[in-house]
Amino acid sequence: MDLRQALRTTGATRSFTDREIDRDTIAAILDDARFAPSGGNRQAWRVIVVEDAAKRLALRDIYLDTWHDYIAHILGGLIPFSPLATDDDRAVAAAKRDDAIAISKPDGFAETLHEAPVLLLVLADLSLLAALDRDLDRYQFAGGGSIYPFVWNVILAARDRGLGGVMTTMAVRYEDRVFDLFDVPDGFGVAAVVALGEPTKALSKLTRQDVASFATYDSFSGPVVENPNRAES
Ligand SMILES: Cc1cc2nc3c(=O)[nH]c(=O)nc-3n(C[C@H](O)[C@H](O)[C@H](O)COP(=O)(O)O)c2cc1C
């Protein structure tokens, strides 16, 4: 597939056919994904392919608990899990949790996560991460930059094989439960759970902000980067 086309059309797929994805295909996807960049080329990712039905269900339960928290934020008019949230924001979200559970759909992606053809748990070996912001007095995210390119490569490698998928981070919130479930040693963090499979739907056009909305020259408030390709969106 043309790279530019892949960049512009690879979205989140959350609905899959029953087609089974064999182990060789999963291995081949990981084999492509491992060429992702990482700080110092430390390649701190670790992947657990979740096949066991009981573990899949337990992982779904962990995901679902966060999903309810996520919807509670939306119902409360908040950006879910913003690092800049106040205590008041947290209280608003907590108060909406029961409402969120009440509107949970039995056939939703979160509710049926355990049925995804492929579930990959991606862990980060914290001892290997280059977290350049670790000493800053703000929310830290640079270390994730050494893991998420790999996760995105998994999605792209799956796409190249006619599959779709989505990177999810809901399980991060209750990672201690994930550690227990998968016997993860100390020193690791949960980075993502990736669901993959054959998409049930054709691709739809992705909605993204225009370049001029996020890029400027020379200072934050400098002239915007005009985009001659804008009409293509
Ligand atoms: C870091 C990250 C975390 C995400 N977490 C979740 C998640 O927990 N659950 C989910 O369904 N989608 C998750 N997504 C997918 C986003 O919702 C998706 O990329 C975004 O809404 C754009 O969707 P589109 O590509 O279909 O337009 C995540 C994406 C990223 C990059």
Q: Where are the domains of the chain?
A: 3-232
Please classify residue 53 by burial: count the beta carbons closer than 10 Å to its beta carbon, then call 0-12 exposed, 13-18 middle and 19+ buried.
Answer: exposed
With H, G, I as helix, E, B as strand and everything else as coil, classify residue 83: coil
Quote the pLDDT of residue 232.
55
Quote the pLDDT of residue 70.
97
Question: At residue 229, does pLDDT exceed 80?
Answer: no
What is the whole-number distance in angstroms between the Cα of residue 232 and the centre of ligand 1?
23
What is the whole-number distance in angstroms between the Cα of residue 192 and the centre of ligand 1?
11
Show the tokens assigned to 200: 């049930």
Show the tokens assigned to 97: 């949790």
Q: Which atom of ligand 1 is nearest to the CA of 206?
A: 27
Q: Which fold has domain 3-232?
A: NADH Oxidase (3.40.109)
Residue count of the chain, please give it. 233
Question: At residue 133, does pLDDT exceed 60?
Answer: yes
- 80 touches ligand 1 (CB under 6 Å): no
Measured distance CA(58)–CA(106) in Å, rounded: 16
Radius of gyration of the chain from Cα atoms?
A: 19
**What is the percent of the chain where pLDDT is above 70?**
98
Phi/psi class of residue 195: alpha, beta or left (left: φ > 0; alpha: ψ in -120 to 50)?
Answer: beta
The number of CA neighbours under 13 Å toward the Cβ of 115 is 13
